[in-house]
């Protein structure tokens, strides 16, 4: 009798796991983060964090599979029906983002243990991992939710944890504190703008559920409140996306944060914000309205193109490797925004694909730089000299990821740039194509600088003239190579991200006609 | 498993891959390593010969390497032009391997395993370029070729090598990603594919402006063809060990460039389209200027390899010129020049390397009187020079002849003047070297050491290639017949 | 000559409108004063004033719960924390560059213009037919009685309908606590500073150490009156916190406010009797544990409802026969979680600052 009930309850347990996947994918790392801070030792907290993120990753794969089958997963928190309660909704657009974030978090943790042990005070490690988990959960929550205000709550969770995580670079470099502070100020302004926008939307629609807002807005004419809300939300999320010229917080935040944080943020944080921007632009506000089209053509697109070129130039002049990569990130965000601002399904799917691919390449690059920092204390490009000899595997991984950043065929970076060019030509935006080309050439320069330092310069030598060999932690190297191979794999088979991006884009843009 | 042409296409990559792995694994045992290297070269050559025969019999084997979706794919399709290039590269690769082994051992070069491993990657990339069925595939292998030859160029590892290597990589990568890649993507956008199709993709579909722009992007994007002003990488790459210069800069790299040039004119643009393009006319003039300037600068160089490098710049532009004239005869001449110049130039480079490996002389002015110490080398050099100049009965005469014939079709016959001038200059800067080696007395005693004989392995290959230029003179007609299907569509 | 009066005569210009205007203009004045001042002490105090004014204004807007929170958090605990932060840095702000002034002014102006622009199409304040009052808002009003049956609709929305948001906010609070602990030191002590010594060893202060600084750190005759008053006040404050907590279903209040009030009781204790005493009464480890425990209570309840076959935070699962009862139980538990985390985090932050105090003399105030 008792055994039976246990058996049936454990069956319910597994069922409950799958049927609540949408909530658990966020809640597990959220609660897990709190638990991690209680675990006294860094390594135990790390193992716990890996477990939590792994659970999230598995759940996200489960949902991805359902979404690929054509389903849309809805989940009502507290079982309160929409619009009374808060709902999660997983469709082709955010299933990819959720999977990306959880996968990146997992890889970051696999990569990061040795760097954390090196960079973070041992007493603080467990709480550091706890904060990291909270940050992961925040990003996942932003991606999963279908409620405009809930977005704000999780935006805050991810932002505040990010400020903390960035500031933890202070043990290596005190500048991390000012970087974090600047990020905090600008991030808070962004969040405030966002919540003002959501408040204005609530004022005119009386609801917070995104699709509900959208359907009410569809029945309304042009409205100044909606316009103001649009501006506030775009600027608020733009700040988080590092949309030019609102990107000033990003380079220092990425450069001075601990390696694991820089790597994780570079591959996820701006991506999730950009996803939200897309969500609001296309599925909350009315696409095709003259106001939005004008915003796209005269604000978003020029900003995107400027970012692609100006920030690539800035990247070319950075002696600090991570600042170089950070500026390049802003430029790459420009590519994604360009795709979005095209306002066509092709452009949007190209932008989404680039979002995905950029996460892969920047993740790999930051990992490689993190390992270089761990092994050789690399901060500046000049210190990367001879890495091809001292850290051959790391250097090779960095090179492949760098080629992907340039957009060379055989790497994923080519595919997304290709689709972006096609989409831009479809709209006849020649100048955008020229900008893509110019920015790619600049990428050759700044990536080339790293490759040159690694392979063309002699490494530092021991007193006896022998080349210093640096041991690289195996687990970190495995994580790096998973990303590096992904960069190659998604050239040969981009169908997964591209299929999802296309479905999502046509769903978002197609909604305009109905 | 029976050999089929499709399998043969796969083997073009598989054989060097296995060879490369073998070379790396056998790195500790140099003799065994070099045997693997030679076996690989032979196997590749046998495979290519079989493919050449199959293509000659009318077969057009095709192999999809990867289907990426969105109209993109990596694909091999072999046609006569590619088959010829593959045959050229693989046969000279085998000879050059032989030579390289001798040279590297003779000069006690370091890191020989790495050297030969990258060589294997480079030959695989050349095979890929030769067999590419569309422009995207060709671009990929073009880039792999650049990257895999970069460690070869900088092999010496000193500051000079690194400086040269940096220029090499920067120019080739910047032009290919900045110009060639956009051109490839634009081709994909306008034509819906980048596949090489007889008669071209663009015929009758695009305006003259776009055609002209694309042509410019391609011509300067293919920096390996060394048209002025994207030629500077070539003299700088001469810091490489001589086998590299010989093979890569007489055969694989530069020829991959001009091969691509011919390929895009024939199979992407279509000969008629290029012939009617005003832009092509200007590019032809630029090619003619390059021919003359290349030869003029070559005259001023005392360093033998630098002289050969500038000579190569001039000679390559014969092919670009032929491609831009775009009459069937001119293109046939261009295609022949790829082959004939390769044999002539590799002979010269190998001789230069032999001289260097025996007594470390690099300056032309110090070679007087050396003919007695190494007669075979200087005779081979003499024959190679005659072939480059274009005198019968050596192979180099055919392409020039065909180019003359091809150009008379068109109004810009005065470009012929450039060719004639260039040939005269060739005589001036190439012939005296071996003549003086035999006739003049050495200025200083030490350069005339009789026992400084070059290793056999560095003498035999140039002698063979020199002999080949003689044989190829008589083989030209079968080769032209072989290529005929390529150009019949256009005229 | 008749003057046309531009105001719509139906507009209810009553006492509240006038009060609102007075309050708003005071807010503006205080805000400008805050911007203009360099003395950080005054700035902090004015922040408190600003919060109190805002709270008063919220009351007049009938947003009593918000007002309460603003008063407790904005005017209460954050003033204390900001003072703590100020003590660790400087009493005066460094002059800022003109460029920054102008940038800030530009941003603020642009924001203001955008908001003004929007007001033209905004619904009238208090309009019963405005979307915010007629759609979901109205539904909350009508359904709370049948669904949850608590008199305070705000509590129903915060704790149940949108309980997930509140969970998120609790995590935000915890994260902020993590931040302070990670940056300022995990135990609220700075390694190597005098305060890191165990409390017992503090009994023999060096002769030249100022008496006033000891007053902050340990009991002293100096503040005997304060000590007596505080001892009387603290139990009352704690009881009041509990009242606010448990009365949240019926009136303004709830876990957030209660947690803050509870924390302020402890802070008062530490101000009078010193950090060492406070640490002995409430060890930092305990405080840290509490701040995490609250989130675990809240999230744990969500997991329990999932295990019981419902959705995350579906309180009805707790008692399927009497869902009203289940809702009450659920709200009570999560409010407890909020209370514990908020109190714990506030104290952690306070410990973090207090652990870094330099010597402080009375005349410095």
CB spacing of A437 vs B182 below 8 angstroms: yes
Alpha-carbon radius of gyration of chain C:
24
Mutate to test the interface with A, among C165, C187, C295 (most CBs of A within 10 A): C165
Q: Which of A408, A455, A494 sits opposite B68 (nearest CB)?
A: A494
DSSP string across A134-167: HHHHHHHHHHHB-BHHHHHHHHHHHHHHHHHHHH
DSSP code at position C159: I
Closest CA to B395 of B317, B330, B323, B467: B467
Residue B344, min C-alpha distance to chain A (Å): 33
DSSP string across A82-95: TTTS-EEEE-HHHH
| CATH architecture label of C14-122 | Up-down Bundle (1.20)
How high is the mean pLDDT in each 10-residue block of chain C (365 residues)? 50 75 92 88 92 92 88 88 83 80 87 88 80 84 85 86 92 93 70 42 42 46 78 91 86 86 90 84 90 93 88 86 88 92 92 71 52
Tokens 């730089």 sit on residue: A369
What's the mean pLDDT in A41-63?
93
Cα–Cα distance, B386 to B426 (Å, whole number): 9
- Chain C positions touching A164 (Cβ under 8 A) are 175, 178-179, 182-183
Please state whether at least 3 CB pairs lie below 8 Å between chains A and C.
yes
Cα–Cα distance, C133 to B306 (Å, whole number): 85
What's the mean pLDDT in B11-36?
86
Give the rounded distance of the alpha carbon of A245 from its chain centre: 19
pLDDT band of residue A26 (cuts 50, 70, 90) is very high
- Chain A positions touching C127 (Cβ under 8 A) are none
- pLDDT the model gives residue A104: 95
From residue A13, give the alpha-carbon distance in Å to each of C303, C308, C310, C317, C318: 11, 9, 11, 15, 16
Return the half-sphere exposure (C-beta side, CA atoms, 13 A cut-off) of residue B110. 6
- By the 10 Å C-beta count (0-12 exposed, 13-18 middle, 19+ buried), C34 is classed as middle
The domain locations on chain A are 288-505
pLDDT at A63 over 90: yes
| A neighbours by CB contacts (3+ pairs under 8 Å) | B, C
**Surface of C (66-105) touching A: CB under 8 A:** none
Continuous H helices in C120-254:
131-134, 136-147, 153-156, 163-184, 211-217, 224-246
CB spacing of C136 vs A203 below 8 angstroms: no
- pLDDT the model gives residue C364: 53
CB atoms < 10 A from the CB of C49, how many? 17
Q: Which of C131, C168, C299 sits opposite A205 (nearest CB)?
A: C131
- CA torsion, points A487, A493, A499, A505, in degrees to nearest 10? 40
- pLDDT the model gives residue A13: 63
Minimum mean pLDDT range among A462-471, A479-488, B370-379: A462-471
Continuous H helices in A407-459:
412-426, 430-456
Cα–Cα distance, A333 to A354 (Å, whole number): 9
Whether residue A83 has a cis bond before it, omega within 30° of 0: yes
Minimum mean pLDDT range among A267-281, B423-437, C1-15, C253-267: C1-15
- A to B CB pairs, distance under 8 Å: 64
CB contact, 8 Å: A430 with chain B? no
Give me the helix-helix angle, C284-307 and A21-38, nearest 10°: 160
CB contact, 8 Å: A204 with chain C? yes
CB spacing of B140 vs A409 below 8 angstroms: yes
CB spacing of A418 vs B188 below 8 angstroms: yes
B333: left (phi over 0), alpha (psi -120 to 50) or beta: alpha
- Chain C positions touching A132 (Cβ under 8 A) are none
Whether residue A245 has a cis bond before it, omega within 30° of 0: yes
pLDDT at B360 over 80: no
Cα–Cα distance, A120 to A170 (Å, whole number): 9
CB contact, 8 Å: A492 with chain B? yes
Q: How far apart are the first and last CA of chain A?
A: 56
ipTM of the complex: 0.91
Mutate to test the interface with B, among A385, A395, A408 (most CBs of B within 10 A): A408
Cα–Cα distance, A337 to A348 (Å, whole number): 9
CB contact, 8 Å: A441 with chain B? yes
DSSP string across A358-404: HHHHHHHHHHHHHHHHHHH---BGGGGTTHHHHSHHHHHHHHHHHHH
Phi, psi of B74 (to 5 degrees): -105, 125
Residue B138, min C-alpha distance to chain A (Å): 11
Phi, psi of B113 (to 5 degrees): -60, -50
pLDDT tens digit string along A119-135? 888 888 999 999 999 99
CB contact, 8 Å: C364 with chain A? no
Cα–Cα distance, C159 to C161 (Å, whole number): 7
- pLDDT the model gives residue C187: 62
pLDDT tens digit string along A316-341? 999 999 999 999 999 999 999 999 99
- pLDDT the model gives residue A153: 95
CB spacing of C178 vs A79 below 8 angstroms: no
Tokens 């991030």 sit on residue: A187
CB spacing of A84 vs C143 below 8 angstroms: yes
pLDDT tens digit string along B328-340? 888 888 888 888 8
Are B436 and B368 within 8 A, CB to CB?
Answer: yes
Mean pLDDT of chain A: 88
Greatest Cα pair distance, chain C, in angstroms, is 85
- Tokens linked to B349: 């480079």
CB contact, 8 Å: A11 with chain C? no
Minimum mean pLDDT range among A46-60, A65-79, A373-387, B404-418: B404-418
- Chain C positions touching A144 (Cβ under 8 A) are none
- pLDDT the model gives residue A29: 94
Cα–Cα distance, B410 to B285 (Å, whole number): 13
Phi, psi of A145 (to 5 degrees): -80, 155
CB spacing of C168 vs A157 below 8 angstroms: yes
- Nearest residue of chain A to residue B157 (CA atoms): A456
**Surface of A (451-470) touching B: CB under 8 A:** 452, 455-457
Cα–Cα distance, B418 to A190 (Å, whole number): 66
User: Long-range contact list for C125-128, CB < 8 A, 24+ apart?
Assistant: none
Are B82 and B76 within 8 A, CB to CB?
Answer: no
Cα–Cα distance, C264 to C246 (Å, whole number): 18
- pLDDT the model gives residue C234: 92
Are A256 and A179 within 8 A, CB to CB?
Answer: yes
> Higher confidence at residue C128 or residue A148?
A148
Does the pTM surpass 0.80? The reply is yes
CB spacing of B174 vs A444 below 8 angstroms: yes
**Coil, helix or strand for A438?**
helix
Give percent of chain A with pLDDT exceeding 70.
94
Mutate to test the interface with B, among A345, A409, A444, A459 (most CBs of B within 10 A): A409
CB contact, 8 Å: B136 with chain A? yes
Cα–Cα distance, C365 to C359 (Å, whole number): 12
CB contact, 8 Å: A425 with chain B? yes
CB spacing of A134 vs C171 below 8 angstroms: yes
Cα–Cα distance, B242 to B238 (Å, whole number): 8
- Tokens linked to B408: 């008379």
What's the mean pLDDT in B474-485?
84
pLDDT at A310 over 90: yes
- Tokens linked to A74: 């809805």
Residue C274, min C-alpha distance to chain A (Å): 26
CB contact, 8 Å: B185 with chain A? yes
Cα–Cα distance, A194 to A178 (Å, whole number): 24
A78: left (phi over 0), alpha (psi -120 to 50) or beta: left
Continuous H helices in chain C:
15-36, 40-60, 64-69, 78-88, 98-119, 131-134, 136-147, 153-156, 163-184, 211-217, 224-246, 255-273, 275-281, 284-307, 323-354
CB spacing of A444 vs B72 below 8 angstroms: no
SS (H, E, C) A19-78: HCHHHHHHHHHHHHHHHHHHCCCHHHHHHHHHHHHHHHHHHHHHHHHHHHCCCCEEEEHH
Residue A70, min C-alpha distance to chain C (Å): 23
> How is chain B split among helix, strand and coil, in percent rounded to 5?
75, 5, 20
Alpha-carbon radius of gyration of chain B:
21
Give me the helix-helix angle, B80-106 and B328-359, nearest 10°: 10
Element (H, E) at B68: strand B62-69
- Chain A positions touching B186 (Cβ under 8 A) are 425
CB contact, 8 Å: A161 with chain C? yes
Minimum mean pLDDT range among A92-106, A390-404, C16-30, C205-219: C205-219
CB spacing of B177 vs A440 below 8 angstroms: yes
Instruction: Tell me the helices (H) and strands (E) count for chain B, helix number first.
Output: 19, 2
Cα–Cα distance, A182 to B272 (Å, whole number): 62
Phi, psi of A73 (to 5 degrees): -95, 120
Cα–Cα distance, B486 to B481 (Å, whole number): 10
Cα–Cα distance, B329 to B315 (Å, whole number): 18
CB contact, 8 Å: A157 with chain C? yes
**Coil, helix or strand for B205?**
coil
pLDDT at A1 over 50: no
Cα–Cα distance, B490 to B267 (Å, whole number): 10
What's the mean pLDDT in B342-351?
87
- pLDDT the model gives residue A162: 94
Cα–Cα distance, C271 to C261 (Å, whole number): 15
């Amino acid at each position: 009798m008792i055994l039976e009930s246990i058996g049936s309850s454990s069956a319910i347990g597994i069922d409950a796991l799958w049927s609540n996947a949408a909530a658990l994918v966020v809640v597990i790392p959220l609660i897990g983060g709190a638990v991690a801070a209680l675990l006294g030792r860094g390594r135990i907290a790390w193992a716990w964090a890996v477990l939590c993120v792994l659970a999230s990753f598995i759940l996200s794969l489960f949902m991805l599979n359902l979404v690929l089958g054509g389903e849309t997963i809805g989940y009502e928190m507290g079982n309160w029906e929409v619009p009374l309660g808060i709902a999660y909704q997983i469709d082709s657009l955010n299933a990819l983002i959720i999977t990306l974030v959880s996968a990146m978090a997992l890889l970051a943790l696999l990569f990061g243990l040795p760097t954390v042990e090196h960079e973070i005070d041992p007493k603080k490690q467990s709480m550091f991992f706890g904060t990291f988990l909270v940050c992961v959960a925040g990003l996942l929550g932003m991606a999963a939710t279908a409620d405009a205000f809930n977005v704000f709550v999780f935006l805050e969770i991810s932002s505040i944890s990010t400020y903390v995580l960035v500031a933890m670079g202070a043990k290596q470099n005190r500048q991390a504190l000012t970087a974090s502070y600047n990020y905090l100020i600008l991030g808070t302004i962004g969040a405030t703008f966002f919540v003002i926008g959501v408040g204005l939307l609530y004022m005119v629609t009386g609801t917070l559920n995104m699709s509900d807002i959208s359907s009410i807005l569809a029945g309304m004419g042009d409205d100044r409140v909606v316009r103001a809300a649009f501006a506030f939300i775009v600027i608020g999320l733009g700040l988080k996306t590092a949309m030019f010229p609102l990107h000033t917080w990003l380079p220092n935040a990425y450069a001075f944060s601990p390696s694991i944080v820089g790597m994780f943020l570079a591959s996820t944080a701006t991506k999730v914000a950009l996803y939200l921007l897309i969500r609001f632009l296309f599925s909350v506000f009315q696409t095709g309205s003259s106001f939005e089209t004008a915003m796209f053509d005269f604000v978003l697109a020029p900003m995107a193109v400027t970012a692609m070129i100006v920030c690539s130039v800035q990247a070319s002049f950075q002696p600090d490797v991570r600042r170089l990569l950070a500026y390049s990130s802003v430029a790459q965000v420009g590519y994604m925004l360009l795709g979005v601002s095209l306002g066509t399904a092709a452009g949007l799917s190209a932008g989404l694909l680039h979002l995905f691919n950029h996460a892969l390449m920047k993740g790999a690059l930051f990992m490689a730089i993190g390992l270089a920092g761990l092994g050789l204390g690399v901060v500046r490009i000049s210190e990367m000299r001879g890495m091809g000899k001292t850290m051959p595997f790391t250097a090779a991984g960095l090179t492949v990821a760098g080629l992907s950043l340039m957009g060379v065929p055989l790497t994923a970076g080519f595919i997304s740039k290709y689709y972006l060019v096609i989409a831009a030509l479809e709209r006849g935006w020649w100048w955008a194509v020229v900008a893509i080309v110019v920015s790619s050439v600049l990428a050759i320069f700044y990536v080339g600088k790293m490759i040159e330092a690694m392979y063309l310069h002699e490494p530092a030598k021991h007193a006896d003239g022998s080349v210093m060999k640096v041991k690289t932690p195996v687990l970190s190297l495995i994580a790096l190579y998973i990303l590096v191979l992904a960069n190659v794999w998604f050239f040969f088979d981009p169908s997964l991200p591209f299929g999802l991006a296309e479905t999502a884009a046509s769903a978002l843009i197609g909604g305009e006609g109905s | 498993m029976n050999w089929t042409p499709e399998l043969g296409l796969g083997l073009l990559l598989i054989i060097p891959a296995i060879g490369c792995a073998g070379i790396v694994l056998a790195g500790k045992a140099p003799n065994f390593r070099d045997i693997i290297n030679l076996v690989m070269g032979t196997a590749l050559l046998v495979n290519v010969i079989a493919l050449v025969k199959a293509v000659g019999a009318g077969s057009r084997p095709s192999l999809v390497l990867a289907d990426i979706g969105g109209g993109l794919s990596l694909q091999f399709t072999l046609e006569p032009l590619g088959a010829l290039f593959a045959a050229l590269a693989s046969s000279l690769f085998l000879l050059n391997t032989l030579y390289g082994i001798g040279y590297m051992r003779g000069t006690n070069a370091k890191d020989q395993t790495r050297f030969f491993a990258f060589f294997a990657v480079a030959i695989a990339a050349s095979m890929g370029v030769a067999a590419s069925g569309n422009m995207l595939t060709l671009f990929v292998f073009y880039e792999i070729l650049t990257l895999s030859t970069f460690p070869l160029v900088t092999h010496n590892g000193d500051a000079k090598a690194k400086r040269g290597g940096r220029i090499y990589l920067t120019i080739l990568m910047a032009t290919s990603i900045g110009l060639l890649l956009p051109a490839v993507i634009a081709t994909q956008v306008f034509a819906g594919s980048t596949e090489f199709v007889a008669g071209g993709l663009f015929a009758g579909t695009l305006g003259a402006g776009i055609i002209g722009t694309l042509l410019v992007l391609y011509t300067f994007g293919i920096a390996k063809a060394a048209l002025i002003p994207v030629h500077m990488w070539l003299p700088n790459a001469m810091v490489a060990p001589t086998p590299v210069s010989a093979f890569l800069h007489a055969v694989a790299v530069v020829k991959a460039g001009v091969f691509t040039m011919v390929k895009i004119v024939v199979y992407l643009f279509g000969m008629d389209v290029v012939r009617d393009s005003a832009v092509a006319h200007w590019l032809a003039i630029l090619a003619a200027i390059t021919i003359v300037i290349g030869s003029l600068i070559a005259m001023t160089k005392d360093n033998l390899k630098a002289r050969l490098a500038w000579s190569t710049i001039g000679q390559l532009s014969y092919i670009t010129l032929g491609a831009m004239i775009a009459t069937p005869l001119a293109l046939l001449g261009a295609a022949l020049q790829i082959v004939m110049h390769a044999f002539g130039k590799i002979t010269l480079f190998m001789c230069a390397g032999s001289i260097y490996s025996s007594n470390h002389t690099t300056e032309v002015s110090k070679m007087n009187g050396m003919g007695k110490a190494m007669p075979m080398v200087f005779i081979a050099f003499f024959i190679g020079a005659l072939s480059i100049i274009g005198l019968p009965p050596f192979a180099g005469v055919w392409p020039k002849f065909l180019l003359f014939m091809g150009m008379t079709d068109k109004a810009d016959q005065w470009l012929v003047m450039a060719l004639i001038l260039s040939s005269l200059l060739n005589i001036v800067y190439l012939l005296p070297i071996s003549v003086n080696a035999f006739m003049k007395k050495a200025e200083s005693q030490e350069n005339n050491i009789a026992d400084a004989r070059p290793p056999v392995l560095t003498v035999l290959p140039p002698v063979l290639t020199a002999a080949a230029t003689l044989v190829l003179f008589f083989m030209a007609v079968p080769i032209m017949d072989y290529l005929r299907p390529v150009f019949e569509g256009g005229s | 000559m008749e003057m046309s009066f531009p105001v719509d005569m139906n507009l209810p210009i009553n006492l509240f409108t006038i009060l609102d205007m007075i309050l708003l203009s005071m807010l503006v004045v205080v805000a400008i004063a805050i911007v203009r001042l360099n003395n950080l002490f005054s700035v902090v105090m004015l922040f408190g004033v600003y919060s109190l004014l805002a709270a008063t204004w919220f009351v007049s807007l009938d947003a009593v719960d918000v007002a309460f929170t603003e008063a407790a958090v904005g005017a209460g605990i954050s003033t204390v924390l900001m003072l703590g932060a100020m003590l660790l840095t400087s009493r005066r702000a460094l002059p800022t560059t003109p460029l920054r002034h102008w940038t800030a002014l530009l941003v603020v102006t642009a924001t203001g213009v955008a908001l003004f622009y929007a007001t033209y199409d905004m619904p009238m304040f208090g309009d019963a037919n405005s979307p915010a009052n007629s759609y979901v808002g109205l539904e909350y009003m009508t359904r709370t009685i049948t669904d949850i049956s608590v008199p305070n609709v705000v509590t129903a929305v915060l704790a149940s309908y949108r309980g997930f948001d509140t969970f998120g906010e609790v995590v935000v609070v915890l994260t902020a606590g993590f931040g302070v602990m990670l940056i300022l030191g995990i135990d609220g002590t700075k390694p190597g500073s005098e305060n890191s010594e165990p409390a017992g060893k503090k009994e023999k202060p060096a002769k030249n150490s100022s008496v006033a600084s000891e007053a902050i750190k340990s009991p002293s005759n100096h503040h005997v009156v304060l000590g007596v008053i505080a001892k009387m006040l603290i139990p009352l404050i704690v009881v009041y916190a509990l009242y606010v907590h448990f009365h949240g279903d019926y009136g303004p209040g709830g876990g957030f406010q209660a947690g803050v009030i509870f924390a302020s009781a402890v802070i008062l204790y530490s101000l009078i009797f010193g950090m060492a005493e406070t640490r002995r009464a409430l060890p930092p480890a305990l405080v840290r544990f509490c701040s995490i425990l609250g989130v675990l209570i809240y999230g744990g309840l969500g997991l329990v409802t999932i295990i019981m076959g419902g959705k995350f935070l579906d309180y009805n699962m707790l008692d399927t026969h009497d869902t009203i009862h289940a809702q009450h139980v659920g709200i009570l538990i999560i409010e407890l979680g909020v209370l514990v985390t908020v109190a714990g985090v506030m104290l952690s932050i306070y410990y973090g600052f207090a652990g870094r105090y330099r010597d402080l003399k009375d005349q410095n105030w």
